[in-house]
C-alpha cells in the first residue's frame, strides 16, 4: 500500500558520488535505481529532480574565478548528466523514464513543461526533470519545490545521507537530536539547514510537505512511501 498517489523525489548530486568524492558511483546509482523500482511497483507516480553537486556548483566555482552565471549553467548541465545516468540505470532494470530538460537541448531530453511531466507519470513512466529551475542563483532544492508544486505532488521526499532533520549537524555535533516532525516556520526560525530558504518558503507558501530521510539505506524509500515513521516530516 502506498501512502501517496504522486511524489517528487529529490536526490542530491553529492550522494551519487558514493565513497569516491567526485562524479558518479555506479554501485550507488544502481542501489538508488533499485529503490526507485521498488516504489514504482507499488503504483506510485514518480517525478525526480537530481542535483549536480557531485560534478559542479556555481557558488564554489565563483570562489575559484569562474563567472557565477556560467558556473551555475555548468551546475545545471551537471544535473542533466546525473539525470541521464539515473535514466540509464533505471532503463537497465526495466523501468521507463522520460528525461525533461528545463533548458532546451533535444535530443538529450524533451523540453520541460508540467503537462509533459504529468503525461509521462500517468503513462507509467518516471519523469526526471533536469536543469533545476533553469535559472542561475537558484538550487535544485528550489527546483524540486517548484517542480513538486507544479506537478501537484502530494509530497516531496528529500533523500539525503542523514536520517532526518536534527537540532544541529549530527555529523559534527554528537548531542544533536532528531525531529520526527517540524513546521516550516520552526525550520526557518531555528535556522535549520533542511533546504535553502527560497525552497523552504516555496513549500510553505504552497502547502507542499516534505519528508527528509536517509536514502543511502536500501529499502528506506519504500518505507517512507508505505507510511513507516522514519525520517522527519516537515509540514506547513
Q: Which residues are annotated as a binding site for ATP?
A: 10-13, 53, 57, 160, 166, 169
For ligand UDP, the closer CB: 97 or 160: 160
For ligand UDP, the closer CB: 60 or 123: 60
For 216, the grid coordinates are: 543511502
Annotated binding site: 10-13, 52-53, 57, 72, 133-140, 160, 166, 169
User: What minimum distance in Å lies between the beta carbon of 73 and ligand UDP?
Assistant: 7
User: What minimum distance in Å lies between the beta carbon of 132 and ligand UDP?
Assistant: 2
For ligand UDP, the closer CB: 13 or 164: 13
Separation CA 118–CA 152 (nearest Å): 9
For ligand UDP, the closer CB: 171 or 185: 171
Angle between helical axes of 26-40 and 68-92 (0-180°, round to 10)? 60
User: What minimum distance in Å lies between the beta carbon of 55 and ligand UDP?
Assistant: 8
Separation CA 198–CA 183 (nearest Å): 15
For ligand UDP, the closer CB: 5 or 70: 70
Residue nearest to ligand UDP (CB): 51
Place of cell 532528531: 178
User: What minimum distance in Å lies between the beta carbon of 144 and ligand UDP?
Assistant: 9
User: What minimum distance in Å lies between the beta carbon of 217 and ligand UDP?
Assistant: 19
Which residues contact ligand UDP by CB under 6 A? 12-14, 51-53, 57-59, 71-72, 75-76, 78-79, 132-133, 135-136, 138-143
Amino acid at each position: 500500500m502506498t501512502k501517496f498517489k504522486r511524489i517528487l523525489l529529490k536526490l542530491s548530486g553529492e550522494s551519487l558520488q558514493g565513497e569516491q568524492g567526485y562524479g558518479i558511483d555506479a554501485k550507488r546509482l544502481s542501489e538508488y535505481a533499485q529503490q526507485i523500482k521498488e516504489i514504482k511497483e507499488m503504483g506510485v507516480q514518480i517525478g525526480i529532480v537530481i542535483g549536480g553537486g557531485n560534478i559542479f556548483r556555481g557558488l564554489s566555482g565563483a570562489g575559484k574565478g569562474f563567472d557565477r552565471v556560467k558556473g551555475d549553467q555548468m551546475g545545471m548541465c551537471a544535473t542533466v548528466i546525473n539525470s541521464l545516468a539515473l535514466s540509464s540505470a533505471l532503463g537497465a532494470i526495466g523501468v521507463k523514464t522520460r528525461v525533461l530538460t528545463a533548458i532546451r537541448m533535444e535530443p538529450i531530453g524533451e523540453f520541460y513543461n508540467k503537462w509533459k511531466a504529468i503525461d509521462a507519470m500517468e503513462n507509467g513512466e518516471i519523469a526526471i526533470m533536469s536543469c533545476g529551475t533553469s535559472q542561475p542563483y537558484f538550487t535544485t532544492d528550489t527546483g524540486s519545490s517548484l517542480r513538486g508544486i507544479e506537478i501537484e505532488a502530494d509530497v516531496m521526499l528529500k533523500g539525503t545521507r542523514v536520517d532526518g532533520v536534527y537540532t544541529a549537524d549530527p555529523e559534527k555535533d554528537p548531542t544533536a537530536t532528531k525531529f520526527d516532525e517540524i513546521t516550516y516556520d520552526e525550520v526557518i526560525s531555528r535556522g535549520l539547514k533542511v533546504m535553502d530558504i527560497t525552497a523552504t518558503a516555496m513549500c510553505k507558501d504552497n502547502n507542499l510537505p516534505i519528508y527528509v530521510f536517509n536514502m543511502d539505506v536500501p529499502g528506506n524509500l519504500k518505507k517512507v512511501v508505505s507510511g513507516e515513521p522514519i525520517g522527519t516530516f516537515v509540514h506547513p
